[in-house]
Chains A and B, each alone.
Chain A
Amino acid sequence: MNNPKVPWRFQVSAVLPGTGPASAGNYGKFFVANKKCVVKSVKAVWTTASTSGTLQLQRLQGTEAKASGDDLLSSTIDLSGTAETVNSGTLTTTVAYLILTAGDRLCLENGGTLTSGAGLCVTVELEQVD
């Protein structure tokens, strides 16, 4: 009674080191929810920009595969933007997509031309809600 439940906030990162960001095959799942969570914010930064690459964050449910999930950003992050400059993703207005139930995954989905991309780091802030 005197011990109120406080939401647990935590952050998880996906890292594609070195020249990993230049290869589409290196993008994919990086988090499986063990408990129900809500995505609160997303940031990304890279060491070297790509030619015209883009990055979307998706929620995968059930047996959904990469690129078949729900987009969690209203627009993709431009991986050809300035290196060493942190980008904040804008979350979708479809709030229901931001909720991960146990077993849902977070997935990086690439687009465009990834050539030259290097040293990608994406961090997602989550709140466990039960």
Chain B
Amino acid sequence: MSGNQPVDSRVFQLVHALDGTSAATAADYGKFFVACKKCVVRSIREVHTVKGSDGSAVTLMIERLQGTETSGNGDDLLTSAFNLKGTAETVQSGTLTTTVADLILTAGDRLNLVDTGVLTAVDGVCVTVELQQIN
């Protein structure tokens, strides 16, 4: 690789945390980013402090909202949701959707957390999204 290759100056990481027991409150999941400029999602990671204890599945999806779309009605950015019953303090790397167009946020598009299942005991959820501004 050339030593003169410029560093990509438009890649940044966005962190959203649901501190403590906020992560067990469904109403606290929702929008956490409004694109000011066109961006593409490059990667998504999640970790939680305490896993969910409910007997059924407890999951977290990241979706893109466009126009006046509301939570749960956007485009899924992961092929499968994060497992909020997964081992605590263990980082999960999301697999991005193969529908590449959905990973592009134009100005005004939002990133949104969608939870499913019963969130009992879930604590300290932290999601980091790597984005690249493309204009």
Q: Mark A84-95, 1 if CB is under 8 A from B, else 0.
A: 111000000000
Which residues of A are found within 8 Å of B6, using beta-carbon distances? Answer: 3-4, 6
Instruction: State the 6 A-B residue pairs at the shortest beta-carbon distance, nearest first.
Output: A10-B12, A125-B36, A18-B27, A17-B28, A6-B9, A123-B34
- Selecting from A41-49, A59-67, A106-114, the interface stretch reads A41-49
A11 touches B14 (CB 8 A): yes
A11 touches B9 (CB 8 A): no
The residues of B with any CB-CB pair to A shorter than 8 Å are 4, 6-7, 9-10, 12, 14, 16, 18, 22, 25, 27-37, 39, 65, 68-71, 107-108, 110, 131, 133
Residue of A nearest to B68 (CB): A84
A16–B97 CA distance with the chains assembled, in angstroms: 28
A128 to chain B, nearest CB (A): 9
Which residues of B are found within 8 Å of A12, using beta-carbon distances? Answer: 14
**What total of chain A residues lie within 8 Å of the partner, measured CB to CB?**
32
Whether, in the assembled complex, A35 has its beta carbon less than 8 Å from a beta carbon of chain B, the answer is no
The residues of A with any CB-CB pair to B shorter than 8 Å are 2-4, 6-13, 15, 17-19, 40-45, 47, 84-86, 118-119, 121-125
Which residues of A are found within 8 Å of B110, using beta-carbon distances? Answer: 45, 86, 121
A121 touches B31 (CB 8 A): yes
A9 touches B70 (CB 8 A): no
> For B14, B33, B36, B110, which residue has the most chain A Cβ atoms within 10 angstroms?
B36
